[in-house]
C-alpha cells in the first residue's frame, strides 16, 4: 500500500494555508504547538532535499581507502578531514586529544603440536576483484587486551564458551583446568569467553569463526556475498567493558587473565578435526564436514601472544552549532570513525550518514533555520578498543553534560534492513514519531510499518498491537552510547538499519568499500534513510517548544522487565527442582549411553520466593504519575512553552534519578539501575541488573537488596516526574 505524503512548505500563518483542500493535516509533533509543528515539518522537508547519496559514497571511499586503526597516520588524517568538513558547513569544530593504552601484537602463534603439526596462518589473504584486501599496513588479527602468554596444553572444544556450556562439559565429565579452550564466536560477547574459561581454570583461549554462524552456512561468502569467507578473522576487544569501558590505564584487572587469539574457519579447522573423545551435543555442532568432539587430551596446541604495550593518541572530532534560542541545551549526536582495518561498514556506513546530517543541518542554518538548541556532532576515535574516545570525552565533560545534555543519539554500522532503535523508553514517543515519517526505500512504506510487519510475521508483536508504538529495547553496551546512558545518565538512543544482510565482513580485512557497495547498501539508499532518521531525531529535539519526552513508556517497559524477571525465577525454580530429582535418581548417568556416559554434577539448591512487590508497587506509582504528567505535557499551552528552559531542566533531571551513585555490585562505574550489559552476555542488556544478576548467581540476599535499590530508583524517578507535572500546573 502506498502512502500519500502531504507536501509542506514554510508557513508562519495559520495551519489552513498550507493544507491542500481535502487533505488531513497530521497531528502536531510531540513537543510542538500546531503552528510550530508545521514549521518543523517544513524544515524537515528542506533537510531531506539537501541529502545526497553521492556524498556518502565519496566520503566512505576516501575514509576507507587504507587501514586506519588507532595510532595510524590514516586515523589522524581522517580526523583532520572530518573536522574540515564540519568547519566547511559552519560548525565550530575542534579536535580533542586523549591517550589510550593500545597493545599491538609483535608475536602470535597458534599451532597444533600433537598428534600432527599444523601451524595457523593468522593471515587473511587477498580476494580477487577487491585490491583493498591486498593492502599492507593492516593491524594483525588479534584480540586487543589479551595478556601476553605462551602456553602449550591439551585443547578442549567448549561451544560458545558461556557458563551454560561449562555445565554441559561438567555433565560429560570434562575439566578444562590446565587446558586451552577453543570457543566459537557467538552466544555472547567475545570478552566473556576468555573470562569464563579462566574462571574454570583454562590456561589459554582460542576464539574462531565457525561457518555455521556467519559463514557459508548463513549465506554466500565474500566475494560472492556478504557472509564471512573461511579466511576472514573477527578481530575485537576482550577488555572487560561490562565492568568499565574506556582506557584501562594501569588497571590490569580489566585485561584478560589468560592469552587469547582469534582464528579464521580455515585456521581453526585442523584443530577441531584433531579432537578425540565423546561426540558433542547436537546444538554444539557447527558447519565443518566432520564430527565435532570435546577432545580427550591427545590433541595439543601451542598458543603464544606478545604485544608492544604502546600508548596511542585518540582524536575526537567535536563540532558544535550554537542554538538560536536555548544555547545552553545540548543535543548530542555521535558515531565513531576508527576501524580495525578499512572499516567501510564498521563504522563508516554510520559515520557518513551522520556527516550528511551535519551537512544538511549546516545548510538549513545558512538559510535562517538554525536549530533552537545547541547541536553537537561527535566523530569518535578508539571505539573498537573499548569505547575509548567517547568514554574519555564524557568523563572529561561529565559536569557539563549533567548541566546541559538533553539527549545522545548514537549510530555505528548501517546497511539494508528494518529500523532498529534501542534506547531509553523516555524517547519512545519521539522515536516512533520519526519512524512513522521516514520511508523505507525498497518497500516504499514507513520505517515503522516495515518494522511492525516484520514483528507481526515473526510473532514478536501480537495482532492486537498492530497499530501500537514499537517498544524500544533496552541498551546494553558495544558502542559509544554506553557512557552517556549508563554512567552519566543522558537519555540515549542507538539507531541503525541493517538486519537484512549476513554481515560476515565484521572486523575483518574484507570490510571494504567494494564489499559494502556491492552487497551491504548499494546506492547508499539506507544511508540516506539513516540520515533522514537521525536528522529528524536531532531536529525534533533541537527545535521542540518543550523536550519531546514522555514518561509512560518507561512504566510500561519496567512492568515488562519485572514480569520477565518473575518468569525467569519461576523457570529457575522448576529447572532446579527437576535437576534435584534427576540427581537423586542418578538419572543422568543411568539414562546415558554407557560408552559415552554422562555424570551427575551436584545439586544447585532450592530457589526460594523472591518478593518483587516493592518493584510492582513502585511501578504502579510511576505509571500514575507518568500518565498525569504526559497528559499535562500533551496539553501544554504556548505560555508554558515559553518557559521551556526551566521545564526542560526538570525533564532532563528525570533520567539522572535512575542512577545510583554507588553503582552496581562489583561494577561501581555502571550506575544505571534499569539496564546494563550482562556480566556474562557482554553487549546484550540485562534489565534490572542488580536484582537479575543476583538471582542468576543464586545470591538471594543480594537479590532482595537489588529489588529494594531498584524500587528506590523508580521512586526517585517518580518524584522527578511529579516535579515536572507540578511545574506544568
State which residue, 412 or 598, has the beta carbon closest to Zn ion: 412
Q: Which residues pair with 103 in a beta bridge?
A: 309
In sequence order, the 6+-apart residues with CB closer than 8 A to the CB of 449 are 436, 440
Least distance (Å) from Zn ion to the CB of residue 346?
Answer: 4
State which residue, 476 or 489, has the beta carbon closest to Zn ion: 476
State which residue, 347 or 553, has the beta carbon closest to Zn ion: 347
State which residue, 339 or 537, has the beta carbon closest to Zn ion: 339
Least distance (Å) from Zn ion to the CB of residue 229?
Answer: 21
Least distance (Å) from Zn ion to the CB of residue 413?
Answer: 6
Mapped onto helix, strand or coil, the DSSP state of residue 576 is helix
Which residue number places its CB atom closest to Zn ion? 347
DSSP summary character for residue 672:
B
Lookup result for grid cell 573536522 = 83
State which residue, 357 or 412, has the beta carbon closest to Zn ion: 412
C-alpha cell at position 407:
539527549
C-alpha cell at position 685:
542488556
| Pairing mode of beta strands 492-497, 419-423 | antiparallel
Tell me the backbone φ, ψ of residue 268, rounded to 5 degrees.
-80, -25
Least distance (Å) from Zn ion to the CB of residue 532?
Answer: 21
Selection from 182, 109, 179 nearest residue 140 by Cα: 109
The mark string for 275-314 relative to Zn ion (x by CB under 5 A, - otherwise) is ----------------------------------------
Q: Give the CB-side neighbour count of residue 227, counting CA atoms within 13 A.
A: 16
DSSP summary character for residue 326:
E
Q: Which residues of 322-360 are buried (b: 16+ CB within 10 A; e: fewer)?
A: ebbebeebbbbbbbbbbbbbbbbbbbbbbbbbbbbbbbb
The mark string for 401-420 relative to Zn ion (x by CB under 5 A, - otherwise) is -----------x--------
Angle between helices 349-366 and 34-50 (to 10 degrees): 120
Mapped onto helix, strand or coil, the DSSP state of residue 587 is helix
Least distance (Å) from Zn ion to the CB of residue 65?
Answer: 18
Least distance (Å) from Zn ion to the CB of residue 344?
Answer: 11
State which residue, 30 or 512, has the beta carbon closest to Zn ion: 512
Least distance (Å) from Zn ion to the CB of residue 350?
Answer: 7
Mapped onto helix, strand or coil, the DSSP state of residue 45 is helix
The mark string for 333-352 relative to Zn ion (x by CB under 5 A, - otherwise) is -------------xx-----
Q: Please check whether residue 100 is in contact with residue 75, taking contact to mean a CB–CB distance below 8 angstroms.
A: no
DSSP summary character for residue 4:
-
Least distance (Å) from Zn ion to the CB of residue 338?
Answer: 8
State which residue, 103 or 236, has the beta carbon closest to Zn ion: 236
DSSP summary character for residue 613:
H
Which strand (E) or helix (H) includes residue 37? Answer: helix 34-50
Number of residues that bind Zn ion (CB under 5 A): 3
Least distance (Å) from Zn ion to the CB of residue 516?
Answer: 13
State which residue, 232 or 555, has the beta carbon closest to Zn ion: 232
Least distance (Å) from Zn ion to the CB of residue 630?
Answer: 35
Radius of gyration of the chain (CA): 26
- Residue 26 CA to chain centroid, in angstroms? 33
State which residue, 432 or 496, has the beta carbon closest to Zn ion: 496
State which residue, 423 or 663, has the beta carbon closest to Zn ion: 423
Least distance (Å) from Zn ion to the CB of residue 471?
Answer: 25
Would you report the helix, strand and coil content of the chain in percent, each value rounded to 5? 40, 20, 40
Tell me the backbone φ, ψ of residue 592, rounded to 5 degrees.
-80, 160
382 binds Zn ion (CB under 5 A): no
Angle between helices 53-63 and 525-543 (to 10 degrees): 110
Q: Please check whether residue 136 is in contact with residue 289, taking contact to mean a CB–CB distance below 8 angstroms.
A: no
How buried is residue 463: exposed, middle or buried, by Cβ count under 10 Å (0-12/13-18/19+)? exposed
Selection from 279, 266, 271, 288 nearest residue 154 by Cα: 271
Neighbour count for residue 548 (Cβ, 10 Å): 25
Least distance (Å) from Zn ion to the CB of residue 80?
Answer: 20
C-alpha cell at position 594:
554407557
State which residue, 71 or 334, has the beta carbon closest to Zn ion: 334
Least distance (Å) from Zn ion to the CB of residue 260?
Answer: 20
Q: What angle do CA 138, 140, 143 make, to 5 degrees?
A: 130
Least distance (Å) from Zn ion to the CB of residue 506?
Answer: 9
State which residue, 413 or 552, has the beta carbon closest to Zn ion: 413
Selection from 649, 654, 636, 663 nearest residue 722 by Cα: 654
Selection from 204, 193, 215, 190 nearest residue 265 by Cα: 215
Least distance (Å) from Zn ion to the CB of residue 507?
Answer: 9
In sequence order, the 6+-apart residues with CB closer than 8 A to the CB of 184 are 159, 160, 161, 207, 208, 209, 210, 212, 213, 286
Neighbour count for residue 392 (Cβ, 10 Å): 24
State which residue, 145 or 549, has the beta carbon closest to Zn ion: 145
State which residue, 100 or 664, has the beta carbon closest to Zn ion: 100
Binding residues (CB under 5 A) for Zn ion: these are 346-347, 412
Amino acid at each position: 500500500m502506498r502512502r500519500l505524503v502531504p507536501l509542506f512548505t514554510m508557513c508562519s500563518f495559520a495551519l489552513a494555508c498550507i493544507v491542500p483542500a481535502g487533505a488531513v493535516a497530521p497531528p502536531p509533533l510531540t513537543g510542538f504547538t500546531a503552528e510550530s509543528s508545521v514549521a518543523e515539518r517544513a524544515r524537515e522537508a528542506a533537510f531531506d532535499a539537501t541529502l545526497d547519496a553521492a556524498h556518502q559514497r565519496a566520503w566512505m571511499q576516501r575514509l576507507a581507502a587504507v587501514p586506519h586503526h588507532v595510532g595510524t597516520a590514516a586515523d589522524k588524517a581522517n580526523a583532520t578531514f572530518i573536522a574540515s568538513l564540519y568547519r566547511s558547513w559552519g560548525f565550530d569544530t575542534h579536535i580533542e586529544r586523549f591517550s589510550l593504552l593500545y597493545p599491538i601484537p609483535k608475536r602470535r602463534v597458534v599451532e597444533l603440536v600433537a598428534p600432527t603439526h599444523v601451524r595457523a596462518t593468522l593471515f587473511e589473504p587477498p580476494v580477487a576483484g577487491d585490491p583493498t584486501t591486498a593492502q599492507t599496513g593492516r593491524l594483525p588479527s588479534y584480540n586487543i587486551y589479551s595478556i601476553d602468554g605462551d602456553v602449550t596444553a591439551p585443547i578442549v572444544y567448549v561451544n560458545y564458551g558461556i557458563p551454560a556450556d561449562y555445565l554441559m562439559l561438567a555433565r560429560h565429565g570434562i575439566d578444562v583446568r590446565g587446558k586451552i579452550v577453543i570457543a566459537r564466536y557467538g552466544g555472547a560477547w567475545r570478552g566473556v569467553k576468555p573470562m569464563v574459561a579462566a574462571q574454570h581454570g583454562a590456561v589459554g583461549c582460542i576464539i574462531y569463526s565457525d561457518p555455521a554462524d556467519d559463514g557459508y552456512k548463513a549465506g554466500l561468502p565474500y566475494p560472492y556475498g556478504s557472509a564471512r569467507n573461511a579466511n576472514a578473522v573477527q578481530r575485537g576487544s576482550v577488555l572487560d567493558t561490562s565492568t568499565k569501558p574506556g582506557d584501562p590505564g594501569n588497571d590490569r584487572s580489566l585485561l584478560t587473565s589468560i592469552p587469547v587469539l582469534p582464528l579464521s574457519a580455515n585456521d581453526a579447522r585442523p584443530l577441531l578435526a584433531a579432537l578425540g573423545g565423546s561426540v558433542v551435543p547436537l546444538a554444539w555442532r557447527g558447519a565443518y564436514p566432520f564430527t565435532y568432539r570435546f577432545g580427550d587430551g591427545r590433541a595439543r596446541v601451542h598458543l603464544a601472544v606478545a604485544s608492544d604495550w604502546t600508548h596511542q593518541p585518540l582524536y575526537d572530532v567535536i563540532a558544535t552549532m550554537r542554538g538560536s534560542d536555548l544555547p545552553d541545551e545540548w543535543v548530542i549526536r555521535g558515531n565513531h570513525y576508527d576501524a580495525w582495518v578499512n572499516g567501510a561498514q564498521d563504522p563508516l556506513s554510520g559515520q557518513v550518514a551522520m556527516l550528511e546530517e551535519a551537512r544538511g543541518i549546516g545548510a538549513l542554518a545558512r538559510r535562517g533555520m538554525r536549530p533552537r538548541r545547541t547541536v553537537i556532532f561527535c566523530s569518535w576515535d578508539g571505539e573498537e578498543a573499548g569505547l575509548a574516545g567517547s568514554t574519555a570525552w564524557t568523563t572529561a565533560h561529565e559536569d557539563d553534560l549533567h548541566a546541559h545534555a538533553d539527549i545522545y543519539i548514537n549510530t555505528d554500522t548501517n546497511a539494508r534492513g528494518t529500523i532498529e532503535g534501542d534506547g531509553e523508553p523516555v524517547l519512545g514517543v519521539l522515536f516512533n514519531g520519526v519512524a512513522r515519517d521516514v520511508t523505507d526505500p525498497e518497500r516504499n512504506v514507513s520505517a515503522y510499518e516495515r518494522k511492525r510487519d516484520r514483528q507481526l510475521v515473526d510473532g514478536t508483536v501480537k495482532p492486537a498491537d498492530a497499530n501500537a508504538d514499537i517498544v524500544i529495547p533496552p541498551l546494553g553496551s558495544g558502542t559509544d552510547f554506553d557512557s552517556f546512558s549508563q554512567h552519566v545518565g543522558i537519555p540515549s538512543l542507538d539507531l541503525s538499519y541493517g538486519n537484512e544482510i549476513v554481515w560476515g565482513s565484521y572486523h575483518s580485512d574484507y570490510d571494504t568499500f567494494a564489499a559494502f557497495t556491492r552487497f551491504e547498501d548499494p546506492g547508499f539508499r539506507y544511508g540516506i534513510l539513516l540520515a533522514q532518521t537521525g536528522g529528524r531525531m536531532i531536529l525534533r529535539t533541537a527545535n521542540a517548544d518543550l523536550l519531546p519526552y514522555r514518561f509512560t513508556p518507561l512504566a510500561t517497559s519496567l512492568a515488562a522487565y519485572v514480569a520477565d524477571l518473575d518468569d525467569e525465577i519461576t523457570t529457575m525454580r522448576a529447572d532446579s527442582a527437576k535437576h534435584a530429582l534427576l540427581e537423586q535418581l542418578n538419572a543422568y548417568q543411568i539414562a546415558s549411553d554407557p560408552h559415552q556416559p554422562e555424570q551427575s554434577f551436584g545439586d544447585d539448591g532450592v530457589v526460594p520466593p523472591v518478593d518483587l512487590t516493592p518493584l510492582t508497587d513502585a511501578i504502579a506509582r510511576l505509571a500514575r504519575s507518568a500518565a498525569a504528567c504526559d497528559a499535562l505535557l500533551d496539553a501544554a499551552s504556548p505560555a508554558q512553552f515559553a518557559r521551556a528552559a526551566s521545564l526542560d531542566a526538570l525533564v532532563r533531571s528525570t533520567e539522572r534519578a535512575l542512577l545510583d551513585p554507588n553503582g552496581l555490585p562489583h561494577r561501581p562505574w555502571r550506575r544505571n539501575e534499569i539496564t546494563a550489559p550482562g556480566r556474562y552476555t557482554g553487549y546484550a542488556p540485562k534489565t534490572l541488573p542488580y536484582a537479575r544478576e543476583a538471582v542468576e548467581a543464586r545470591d538471594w540476599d543480594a537479590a532482595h537488596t537489588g529489588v529494594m535499590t531498584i524500587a528506590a530508583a523508580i521512586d526517585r524517578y517518580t518524584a522527578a516526574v511529579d516535579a515536572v507535572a507540578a511545574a506544568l500546573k
